[in-house]
Chain A
């Protein structure tokens, strides 16, 4: 009996030692340490992103007074509304055209900065990043004053050349142009800095080899620079597409969706319907409609990146 009890204690002690060793080993493992270090961020994302995402899914299945489950009823309702399809169209126009121009301007400016002598580059990089580091709500207020219907600084300047006044935010097409312009102004520096980093990582030997082969400027860009930057371009485009699709502040401050709803995008219309119109389930449904569009874009872009990664 005593022996057995003694044996049991020994087994338990061995187990405890093994456990301690296991914990010690686990803590020594790099992946465990990495996990523990990222745990605060994971928790933060879970609380601030995952929970609201699932909550909005839940909200989107309720009726207006949030007392009844209606399944996909809100989406069914939205699909019958002309304004909703106008918002879908505008969100696509806004996001796609803004991302194209941001990428194009970012690419061109990155080349200019890349060619600036190294000792002056830091100054240029700093200056060109200014639009991106100012909080967009603040910089858009400055744009609002520039576009002000009655006191526009742009119109004042243009009047010296006999042009205008241009209804920057009063006419549907001009208003679309204005919100896209501000978004491009704000987002192009991000593309610039990403492309600049990518440009710096392109081995100089490739350009030298291309030069020996007699490649001209365009051929160097097309056959060397662009293939080497493809992954960065794809990831930056995807990231920017997501952020631009979900934009709120620029449109809200500049036009609030007007005139005649012609600048509404998903987020601003969701706010109008959900918060101002007190129809939170419908507002949640509008904002959730972005998810499938962005998911499709993400799948295509990320699949392309991983394919190239495997090839490499």
Chain B
């Protein structure tokens, strides 16, 4: 057996040839040729809603030859934010994580920018609202793709009969199904009068003043309607302003007409208030109505979801978006981006919104008039105004426009509702403002 010695020149030539052959050869895909992708989605409370997401992901995975695993992580007990914190610390975990409101910003340094896919998505679906930009972008870098799943507006859900009978307000006429709102008179003055009338009639509005999200969101929208900010967009303290004083005065008046136990309300309290038939109005996405549809259909038939009352500086409604973010330590970023593009196609979004019974809200301008909101009922059209189809109100989040990392502290420490409660319980205005200023100073630490 003769052995031929390979010269250096021949070795280089052989290597170059084999490399070229490998590059130009047709790419034959195996069953999971494009690798693996693990996803953490928010576990939807609507039965069957997760199924729509799973189907969409599986369709994509089959086409792209990617092996996917999906974990549905609930927000009950903060399991989702605990998992986010754990994965951020370990720098290991899922490739895509569906993050709520503030979490893309608090993990900004660990997230893959998605500007390259956001541009075409926005081009196709229309512009996103200001709150999505505020929460989803840091220094021009998109931290995630807005997820329709779980995103919600927490506007008023009123009892048609009780509002008509006790406050003389026809909410269906004010917010007619299929037409733009005729709500010029739906202001804080009207709202306060209605609250008083319903209180007198024994069916008070159910607006909480506890420390959980629903309570803080309502307070946030009311403060913004007065133009009140505790910290401005540049990070300056703006607690001691007339706008903040006016907001506190308004809340003091409103609190007198609310149930006495509202300081201890959590996110379930307002739902129970509506479903039990004890109140004429709550501030919530249509989850309370959906529960009523199942447990108290006679009450669900009288529910109408509509816009927020307007304050001196405009009409603001709380909007809480979710984002699909990709961790920077993800091992399959390209596949992740490809999936997010697929999930953001109008048809995919509509499928997910329909599966949620109209609860989920897309962030995009062109997707606020889907059929599902026109058809859901009873009463038919009850959700028509839920996605803000006529851009009638500014969608916002409590504590904005403060820098998100400061705003997150204001939000979770419930500084707004605490201020209202302190002032209502007899603390002087200046003392309340001084307390809030001290708190906000602490939130600014870097």
**Residues in chain A within 8 A of chain B (CB atoms):** 63-65, 77, 81-83, 149-151, 165, 167-171, 175, 255-261, 272, 275-280, 282
Instruction: Give bound CA distance, A168 to B272, whole Å.
Output: 18
Are A275 and B264 also in contact (CB < 8 A) when A65-B446, A149-B269 are? no
Q: B263 interface residue, CB < 8 Å from A?
A: yes
Scan B115-157; emit 1 where CB is below 8 A from any A CB, else 0: 0000000000000000000000000000000000000000000
Find out whether the CB atom of B102 lies under 8 angstroms from the CB atom of A170: no
In whole angstroms, how far apart are the Cα atoms of A175 and B212 in the complex?
A: 16
The answer for the CA separation of A282 and B446 in the assembled complex, in Å, is 11
Please give, as numbers and ranges, the residues of chain B lying within 8 Å of A260 by CB-CB distance: 263, 418, 421-422
Whether the Cβ atoms of B211 and A278 lie closer than 8 Å is: no
Alpha-carbon separation in the docked complex, A82 to B273 (Å) = 35
Any chain A CB within 8 A of the CB of B169?
no
Interchain CB contact under 8 A, A65 and B109: yes
Q: Are B259 and A278 in contact (CB under 8 A)?
A: no
Residue of A nearest to B412 (CB): A276
Interfacial chain B residues near A165, Cβ < 8 Å: 260-261
B261/A259 in contact, CB under 8 A = no
Of chain B, the residue at the smallest CB distance from A81 is: B442
User: In the bound complex, what is the Cα–Cα distance between A149 and B215 (angstroms)?
Assistant: 15
**Top-5 shortest CB links A-B:** A149-B261, A278-B106, A170-B264, A276-B412, A169-B264
**Chain B residues in contact with chain A, CB under 8 A?**
78, 81-82, 85, 89, 102-103, 106-107, 109, 210-212, 259-266, 269, 272-273, 276, 278, 405, 408-409, 412-414, 418, 421-422, 438-439, 442, 445-446
B259: chain A residues within 8 A (beta carbon): 149-150
- Inter-chain contacts of B210 with A (CB < 8 A): 256, 258-259
Closest to A74 in B: B445
Q: Quick one: which of A169, A175, A277 contacts B408, CB cutoff 8 A?
A: A277
Given contacts A255-B264, A256-B210, A260-B422, 4 further A-B contacts (CB under 8 A): A64-B445, A77-B442, A149-B262, A169-B264
| Docked CA distance A256–B413 (Å) | 11
Partner of B212, one of A81, A256, A278: A256
Inside 8 A of A64's CB, which chain B residues have their CB?
Answer: 405, 445-446
* Pairwise interchain contact B261-A276, C-beta atoms closer than 8 A: no
How far is A91 from B264 in the complex, measured between Cα atoms in Å? 20
Could you list 24 A-B pairs, sorted by A, with CB under 8 Å? A63-B446, A64-B405, A65-B446, A82-B438, A149-B259, A150-B269, A150-B272, A151-B272, A165-B261, A258-B210, A258-B263, A259-B211, A259-B421, A260-B421, A261-B418, A272-B412, A275-B78, A275-B81, A275-B85, A276-B412, A277-B412, A277-B413, A278-B103, A278-B408
Residues of A within 8 A of B276 (CB): 150-151
Q: Is the Cβ of B211 less than 8 Å from the Cβ of A257?
A: yes
Question: Would you give the shortest CB distance from A51 to chain B, in whole angstroms?
Answer: 13
A-B contacts at CB below 8 angstroms, number: 87
Residues in B neighbouring A275, C-beta threshold 8 A: 78, 81-82, 85
Asked if B439 and A83 sit within 8 Å, CB to CB, the answer is yes
- Chain A residues contacting B81 (CB-CB under 8 Å) are 275-276
A150 touches B278 (CB 8 A): yes
Give chain A nearest CB distance to B203 CB in angstroms. 13
Give the distance in Å from the alpha carbon of A261 to the alpha carbon of B417 in the complex: 12
**Min distance, Cβ B266 to any Cβ of chain A, angstroms:** 7
Residues of B within 8 A of A278 (CB): 85, 102-103, 106-107, 405, 408
User: How far does the Cβ of B255 sit from chain A's closest Cβ, in whole Å?
Assistant: 12
Closest-by-CB residue of A relative to B422 is A260
Within 8 Å CB of B446, what residues of A? Answer: 63-65
Given A83-B439, A259-B210; A170-B106 close (CB under 8 Å): no
B426 to chain A, nearest CB (A): 13
Give the complex CA separation of A150 and B273 in angstroms.
Answer: 8
A167 to B261 CA separation, bound complex (whole angstroms): 7
Tell me the nearest residue of chain B to A151, going by C-beta: B272
The answer to whether B412 touches A170 (Cβ under 8 A) is: no
Contact of A167 among B89, B260, B272, B408 (CB under 8 A): B260
| B327 CB to nearest A CB, Å | 16
Q: If A256-B211, A260-B418, A260-B421 touch, does A149 touch B442 (CB 8 Å cutoff)?
A: no
Write out the residue numbers on chain A whose beta carbons fall within 8 Å of the beta carbon of B264. 149, 167-170, 175, 255, 258-259
Cα A83 to Cα B210 in complex, Å, equals 17
Q: Which residues of A contact B263 (CB under 8 A)?
A: 167, 170-171, 258-260
Task: Give every chain A residue within 8 A of B78 (Cβ-Cβ).
Answer: 275-276
Complex Cα distance, B264 from A171, in Å, reads: 8
B86 and chain A: residue at smallest CB distance: A275
Cα of A260 to Cα of B413 in the assembled complex, Å: 10
Q: Which residues of B contact A149 (CB under 8 A)?
A: 259, 261-262, 264-265, 269
- When chains A and B are docked, how far (Å) is the Cα of A24 from the Cα of B253? 83
A276 to B213, CA, bound (A): 11
How far is A276 from B438 in the complex, measured between Cα atoms in Å?
Answer: 20
A255 to B212, CA, bound (A): 10
Q: What are the residues of chain A within 8 A of B261 when measuring CB–CB?
A: 149-150, 165, 167, 170
B97 to chain A, nearest CB (A): 14
Nearest to B414 among chain A residues (CB) is A258
Q: How far is the CA of A151 from the CA of B269 in the complex (A)?
A: 10
A165 to B85, CA, bound (A): 40
Chain A residues contacting B106 (CB-CB under 8 Å) are 278
Q: How far is the CB of B215 from chain A (nearest CB, A)?
A: 10
Residues in chain B near residue A272, CB distance under 8 A: 412-413
